[in-house]
Homo-oligomer: A and B are copies of this chain.
């Protein structure tokens, strides 16, 4: 038995049975070991950002980690942006990063780099395993850490000789200890939160994040709001929200600083439930970083890594809201469908919301153009909504890969900007390779529209030199997403009217395997 085999067995015995991979030479013994473990589902990405983004999507839906397999520091670097997003989402992930054999490192061969320095900013835990004999223990620790605090990033560096060396005897796979249980909010925190809600009146707000946006926790938050009148709001970017008909309707803090300040302007008591104190995504001259008004009290009920459901249960008890109390529900509204005319991000969003299949998973990296989807879909069929959590664009298509691997019975829909899609378009190939039911809607505005907006803030009227336009517009040449998708084996169409979009959306939703609609807006 080799170190690599011991690693495979430890992963499998701890229920890590999907490995998103982009291997290289130093990982060949691990690949060979995986080949002898057909229980592991190995999924190739043709770029590492696909690999890590897919692992994030998988973890968001499964609430447990997949493994990734990456090739030394450079391969890890290619995957870091989506590891960053996963870390910000609170997703579990176990990265296996191959490295040179221990004795080879000192020669500084061309692919050598400081993997620890690269991995640390985006990982909660980094360890270089020493030898074949330590692989199982280290993998067990990595898996345990990845499951703690709701989900963390564990990165294990695997020297090639630790993978290929033989162990003296067959080693029993190391079962991961159960991760440390989530800490339950203290009685003081619960009492303070209850007092804040009582004292705040219309100025009280529960800000929900993480696990507060799903299942029983979300229902409880709705019941507390229904009983006490406290407002509910979600963080701007969230790992996974359960939304749609029959779910507690929750708006989010707007991305725009001006709108966010307005949304929070009246808040006097802000109770944080799996959320952090809201801050601006970026700083702007003469705008505040902190989004709450001066004098607003921030009362943490449960921090992101704590037991959020228990916190809400204790809070409900403290407030005298009984189990099973009625929860906030949306009044049924009649929705009118834009059925003809030119497309826009809004029209696409409303049509998609109308046709959304039950239990769809929506991966939203629409950036500017999908901004109306959340409001349009409040009353849509129940669905899960996955967002760009860390701001590192290029997450959407890979996330869809992982969500579809996790939930093969559900339809995964990407609402995707064209600029952001370009970063990791290789994900389309993996969707085709694995026959995943991924429907991609490219919102093709042919620009970095969010940046064009930001330029206006900066004083955009003076843009005469052409350099800004050359850095913000994508229209020369125009990208043809139908060609790129077909080049990777994904069926694709282009539409420019509401009628065409409706027709092709219905085709896409009834097609098995991936399908792409380029919506010219």
Contact present for B487 and A100 (CB under 8 Å): no
Can you list 6 A-B contacts with CB-CB less than 8 angstroms, sorted by A residue number? A28-B454, A29-B458, A44-B471, A104-B283, A111-B282, A114-B120
Give residues of chain A (117-145) contacting chain B, Cβ–Cβ below 8 Å. 117-118, 120-122
Cα-based distance from A456 to B55 in the complex (angstroms): 29
Cα-based distance from A264 to B34 in the complex (angstroms): 36
Does chain B have a CB within 8 A of A455?
Answer: yes
Cα-based distance from A75 to B80 in the complex (angstroms): 10
Closest 8 CB pairs of A and B: A477-B489, A483-B487, A74-B392, A484-B487, A104-B283, A101-B283, A77-B80, A35-B468
Question: Which residues from B are CB-within-8-Å of A108?
Answer: 279
User: How many chain copies does the complex carry?
Assistant: 2
Does chain B have a CB within 8 A of A233?
Answer: no
Q: Which of A49, A109, A122, A466 gathers the greatest number of chain B CB atoms within 10 Å?
A: A109
Does chain B have a CB within 8 A of A337?
Answer: no
Give A341 Cβ to nearest chain B Cβ, in Å. Answer: 27
> Which one, A167-175, A323-331, A425-433, is touching chain B?
A425-433
Give A463 Cβ to nearest chain B Cβ, in Å. Answer: 5
Question: Which residues from B are CB-within-8-Å of A69?
Answer: 471
Known: A74-B392, A433-B476, A477-B488. A467 touches B111 (CB 8 A): no
Does chain B have a CB within 8 A of A36?
Answer: yes
Contact present for A451 and B80 (CB under 8 Å): no
Contact present for B433 and A477 (CB under 8 Å): yes
Cα-based distance from A432 to B146 in the complex (angstroms): 43
Known: A122-B113, A422-B426, A429-B477. A32 touches B455 (CB 8 A): yes
Among B84, B282, B469, B484, the residue within 8 A (CB) of A109 is: B282
Give residues of chain A (133-171) contacting chain B, Cβ–Cβ below 8 Å. 160-161, 164
Give A164 Cβ to nearest chain B Cβ, in Å. Answer: 6
Q: Mark A66-101, 1 if CB is under 8 A from B, else 0.
A: 000100011101101100100010000000000011
In this complex, what residue of B is CB-closest to A282? B25
Q: Mark A21-52, 1 if CB is under 8 A from B, else 0.
A: 10111101101101111101011101101000
Does chain B have a CB within 8 A of A295?
Answer: no
Does chain B have a CB within 8 A of A507?
Answer: no
Contact present for A455 and B73 (CB under 8 Å): no
Cα-based distance from A160 to B283 in the complex (angstroms): 8
Among B78, B118, B426, B484, the residue within 8 A (CB) of A78 is: B78
Q: Mark A452-485, 1 if CB is under 8 A from B, else 0.
A: 0011011110111111111110101111111111
Does chain B have a CB within 8 A of A486?
Answer: yes
